[in-house]
């Protein structure tokens, strides 16, 4: 198994280095690229609801809207979420996955510890049977 993995890794590295000396016709966007340098209108853009958008840390409009309706001004830590737990229930339905929910939560309250936040989500889902069929709670296994 180790030998097969080593051979596959060497093959991948070899394939990656074959075209490395020639520039790409469509180079990747760099961080902080301006709107004027964005791909042309004819080029396909990343849809915020697509899985690749989610993996890159973007959230969908429904998830953002749900979080924007929550008053997070009093939230300093994950334990403070218990005080607004009922307000957060809509975010569990409107966010399409745990990663999307965590990204939106971090955008809304950057001081939250993500590891502790995942535990809070799992506990909140387990304690609220009405949330069991939401995308977030389904993912955490409640």
Residue 15 included in any domain: no
* Residue listed under structure tokens 């389904």: 138
**Cα 120 versus chain centre, distance:** 17
Whether 94 maps to a domain, the answer reads yes
**Is residue 13 assigned to a domain?**
no
- Average pLDDT score over residue span 66-71: 90
Task: Please report whether residue 12 resides in a domain.
Answer: no
CA 60 to CA 47: how far, in whole Å? 9
pLDDT one-digit tens code per residue, 98-139: 999 999 999 999 988 888 999 999 999 999 999 999 999 999
In a domain, 35, yes or no: no
Tell me if 29 is assigned to some domain. no
Domain containing 99 equals: 51-140
> Of 102, 95, 103, whose CA–CA distance to 66 is shortest?
95
Residue 114: inside a domain: yes
Contacts of 29 (CB under 8 A, 6+ apart): 37, 38, 39
Residue 61's pLDDT band (boundaries 50, 70, 90)? confident
Residues 6+ away with beta carbon under 8 Å from 126: 142
Residue 135, phi-psi category: left (phi > 0), alpha (psi -120 to 50), beta (remainder): alpha
On whether residue 72 sits in a domain, the answer given is: yes
- C-alpha span between 132 and 128 (Å, rounded): 7
Nearest-angstrom CA–CA distance, 104 and 98: 10
Domain count, the chain: 1
| The model's pTM | 0.57
């Amino acid at each position: 198994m180790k030998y097969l993995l080593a051979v596959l890794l060497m093959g991948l590295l070899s394939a990656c280095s074959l075209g490395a000396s020639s520039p790409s016709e469509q180079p990747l966007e760099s961080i902080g690229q301006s709107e004027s340098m964005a791909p042309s209108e004819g080029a396909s853009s990343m849809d915020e609801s697509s899985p690749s958008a989610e993996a890159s840390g973007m959230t969908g409009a429904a998830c953002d809207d749900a979080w924007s309706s929550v008053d997070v001004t009093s939230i300093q830590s994950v334990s403070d979420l218990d005080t607004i737990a009922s307000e957060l229930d809509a975010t569990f339905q409107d966010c399409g996955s745990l990663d999307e929910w965590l990204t939106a939560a971090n955008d809304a309250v950057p001081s939250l510890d993500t590891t502790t936040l995942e535990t809070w989500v799992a506990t909140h889902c387990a304690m609220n049977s009405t949330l069991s069929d939401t995308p977030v709670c389904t993912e955490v296994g409640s």
